[in-house]
Structure 1
Amino acid sequence: MKLSGLLSRTNHELPGVTGVARVDRRVSDLVRRVSPGDVAVFDLVDLDRRTAEALVAAEVVGVVNASPSISGRFPNLGPELLIEAGIPLIDNVGAVALREIKEGTKIRLHEGVVYAGERELAKGVEQNAESIADAMIEAKAGMSAQLEAFSANTIEFLRRERALVLDGVGVPEVYVPMRDRQVLVVAGGPSHAEQLRKLRKYIREYRPVLIGVDTGADTLHDAGYKPDVIVGDPDGIGTASLRAATEVVVPAQTDGHAPGLQRIQDLGIGAVTFPASGNAEDLALLLAEAHGASLVVTVGLRATLREFLDRGHSGSNPSTFLTRLKLGSKLVDGEAVATLHRSRVSMGVIVLLVTAAIAAMVAALAVSGVGHVYVDIVVDAWQSVVNWFKGFFS
């Protein structure tokens, strides 16, 4: 017992970060099953922002990447996000690490080395803010080549999905009416829950069609809204959100295979498939456009140049680029809508100010002793002001 206690104390005092290893070559599958306290182990060149956001949200305690998280092709955003969140990142440990590090075992990360207790399993480079900043500066030199590759991918995607992007061929029918209505599309991007909160007045006033994309559906449901349409893989969406939605659209591969469709069937929820090679966000936008939405407001969708390039290896960026061109002036970022809505002075505020001014004038006239002569005039003037504001805001 004494020896066991000594070993326990020694292991506890070993330096570094300790957690349960979750190992998977497919990062998309890994991020769905990691939990707080886990160490994510995968093989991904150029760690993108979306993956990093999912790892941060899952509260992993460390990340081990078999490949370089910044290859230098372009300044990708994922590593910086992990370091800002205080999550250790050990980089470029080699593909052999995925065999040496066993699923479910307790591992320790310290100074670029992966240990099981005191036994070394793999060794790489522990990234920090300085090393990532230097790598990002060097990576900016690779942007021109990445832009050329992006252009080629866009042309290839347009050849493959021309009918969908240009003519809407293949967009499934939905029963939720969207024609001549505003549509709010919520995806699980950065600060999307906060952005949605800022749009409460807009939602209350305009009552847009609510489309939740992947985890954005859960965000809508958690905020007290009923998603009209959910677009995404049901395996990554909460049961309560799926049951609350009026309709569910499941993206399918071009061969017809739709991940997550089995779960929908097990839950007894009706769904339609959307066969296309684009990502769920783009399919949601195309769905709204094809069904006649007058305006599409987005929350959690990203479309800056760096974000296009950040996901350049995924093959979905051409879809994103062309989809935004397709929607054109119909597409508005939710931050802009929230800012404009906050800056607009409501009729109630104006009426309150006018009321206060007239009340002050009446009080002044009454004090002067001649108020009774002008009361009728003031009342008539007030009624005229009210009628003018009604006409202005109608």
Structure 2
Amino acid sequence: MKLRRVKEQDTSVADGMSATARVDPRTKDLTKRLEPGDIAVINHEDIDRVSAEALVGCRPKAVVNAARSISGRYPNLGPEILVNAGIPLIDGVGEEIMSKVTEGESLTIEGGRLLLGDELVGEGTVQTSEQVSADMTEAEAGMSVVLESFVTNTIEYIRKERDLLLDRVGVPHVRTKIEGRQVLIVVRGYHYKEDLAMLKPYIREYRPILIGVDGGADAILEAGQVPDMIVGDMDSVSDKALSCGAELVVHAYRDGRAPGLERLQELGVECVVFPATGTSEDVAMLLADDKGANLIVAVGTHDTLIEFLDKGRKGMASTFLTRLRVGSKLIDAKGVSRLYRQRISNLQMTLLALAGLLAVLVALAATAAGQTLFGLVAANFDGVISWVRHLFGGSSAG
């Protein structure tokens, strides 16, 4: 079925399609405004799984990638997700397409050719399932080089952040009281929406500290909760989330530069700066651990080798080490679904008993004996009411 769908997709591209172009070199920014039926124009080498799932969720007519969707560095999962979803992927068009196509223009795709009116503005390769499989096989063969690089980056991170990882030096003071509490850290990663929905009973019962990592803060708001803290470089979080009252911790470079700080100053909100190498995901975990959290529950974070590599940057070595550092407290949301069982409250037990009693009464009312019984009870009840009225009426007369 998948192969048939892909072949139909290739035919539709060959026949030609036209739609409104949405252009952005950053896929995560583009998906915020991408509408169903648009053509997404991106510049994303090695499309990762999270980006691909976000694109599929927007239901574009096609995806045009200026870069190579699979460079061969490692077997990234994104292109396969797009192709299997029936979304045409035109690959390796060249970076000049980002300036030749303007947001909102009508872009036409014929095979691998891109046209603005009658003008040819770019040409790439239409990816098929067979081509993606071949590229993935080739990428898997080069995994040893990537692993060596990953190990090297890990050693470099240990050297740079030894004080932070081992001695906890450099963690800033925050006003949010974390000590002795459970902490739920939300990253907009794999299946974060499903995991958050699954954790609603846990959140309602244990009321953990809610920490959103950049766009994870918006995910918390979408789930009907309010984050207690937002950690990140603040580039992919909405103004609504930044103004919700959560404590803001800006992830800065080790030299103190914090690109996101200017945005917060413009909004007029207070924040704490946390200079550290690595990712904002790491900063959130290290902060929760340092401030005394007794359990850290992670949603949307990375826990397998392919997920680390799929993030596509050197900083993921820090995430691997951070997980080792806080491992005794850390549990993945998918594990919570198996370990956690909601306790039944007294109110729930009372409602259950009342529902059972009501079912019995309804069953009795459907029988002749039950109707007779209810008639006798009603008659006696009327007699009691008449006696009470007579008693109080007599007292008044007296």
Alignment TM-score, normalising by the size of structure 1:
0.78
Among all aligned residue pairs of Structure 1 and Structure 2, give the percentage whose two residues are the same amino acid.
47
Change (3 A) 1:255 1:60: farther
Determine if contact 2:195/2:334 at 8 Å carries over to the other structure. Answer: yes
Corresponding residue number in structure 2 for 1:205: 205
Residue 19 of structure 2 corresponds to: 18
Alpha-carbon separation, structure 1, partners of 2:99 and 2:167: 47
Structure-1 residue corresponding to 2:78 = 78
Distance 2:60 2:223 in 1: 25
- Could you tell me which runs of 5 or more consecutive residues in structure 2 were left unpaired when the two chains were aligned: 1-14, 358-398
Q: Tell me: CA distance 1:73–1:101, structure 2 relative to 1, closer, same or farther (3 Å).
A: same
1:266 matched residue in structure 2:
266
Question: 1:110 Cα shift?
Answer: 2.9
Contact 2:214 2:235 (C-alpha < 8 Å) held by counterparts: no
Give the whole-Å Cα distance in 1 for the aligned partners of 2:325 and 2:348.
Answer: 40
> Which residue does 1:176 correspond to in 2?
176
Distance between the aligned counterparts of 2:294 and 2:244, measured in 1?
A: 25
Q: Distance in 2 between matches of 1:310 and 1:239?
A: 28
> What letter is aligned with 2:237?
I
Distance 1:108 1:169, change over 3 A: farther
- Residue 340 of structure 1: CA displacement? 1.9
Correspondence 1:333 to 2:332: yes
Aligned partner letter, 1:338: S
Deviations 1:79-133 (A, max 9, x none): 1222244432111123343444345432122322211123321111111333212
Q: Deviations over 1:173-202 (max 9, x none)?
A: 111111121111011112212211111111
Q: Give CA deviations for 1:325-366 in whole Å, capped at 9, x if unaligned.
A: 101121101111122224x675879989xx9xxx9xxxxxxx
Which secondary structure state, in structure 1, belongs to the residue aligned with residue 189 of structure 2?
Answer: coil
Residue 320 of structure 2 corresponds to: 321
Q: Give the direction of change, closer, same or farther, for the CA distance of 1:89–1:345 in structure 2 (3 Å limit).
A: same
Secondary structure of 1:218's aligned partner? helix
The answer to whether the Cα contact below 8 Å between 1:298 and 1:332 also exists between their aligned partners in 2 is yes
2:185 aligns with 185
- Number of residue pairs matched by the alignment: 341
**Contact 2:22-2:30 at 8 Å conserved across structures:** no
1:15 corresponds to which letter in structure 2?
G
Aligned to 2:293: 293
Q: Matches of 1:32 and 1:261 in 2, distance apart?
A: 22
- Cross-structure match for 2:277: 277
| Aligned positions of 1:1-394 closer than 5 A | 15-24=16-25, 38-311=38-311, 313-342=312-341, 346=344
AA aligned opposite 2:108: R
CA distance in 1, matches of 2:110, 2:259: 37
Classify 1:240/1:30 alpha carbon distance in 2 versus 1 (closer, same or farther; 3 Å): closer
Preserved CA contact (<8 Å) 1:230 1:245: no
Q: Kindly report the root-mean-square deviation, in angstroms, between the aligned alpha carbons of the 2 structures.
A: 3.0
Structure 1 window deviating more from structure 2 (259-268 vs 317-326): it is 259-268
1:211–1:122 CA distance, 2 compared to 1 (3 A): same
Distance in 2, matches of 1:275 and 1:345, equals 41
248-257 vs 321-330, which deviates more?
A: 248-257
Deviations 1:33-92 (A, max 9, x none): 655554333433322223334434555443222332112221111212222444321111
Q: Is residue 20–residue 37 contact of structure 1 (8 Å, CA) maintained in 2?
A: no
Are 1:178 and 1:288, in contact at CA under 8 Å, matched by a contact in 2?
yes
Distance of aligned partners of 1:255 and 1:294 in 2 relative to their CA distance in 1, 3 Å threshold: same
Structure 1: runs of 5+ lacking an equivalent? 1-13, 360-394
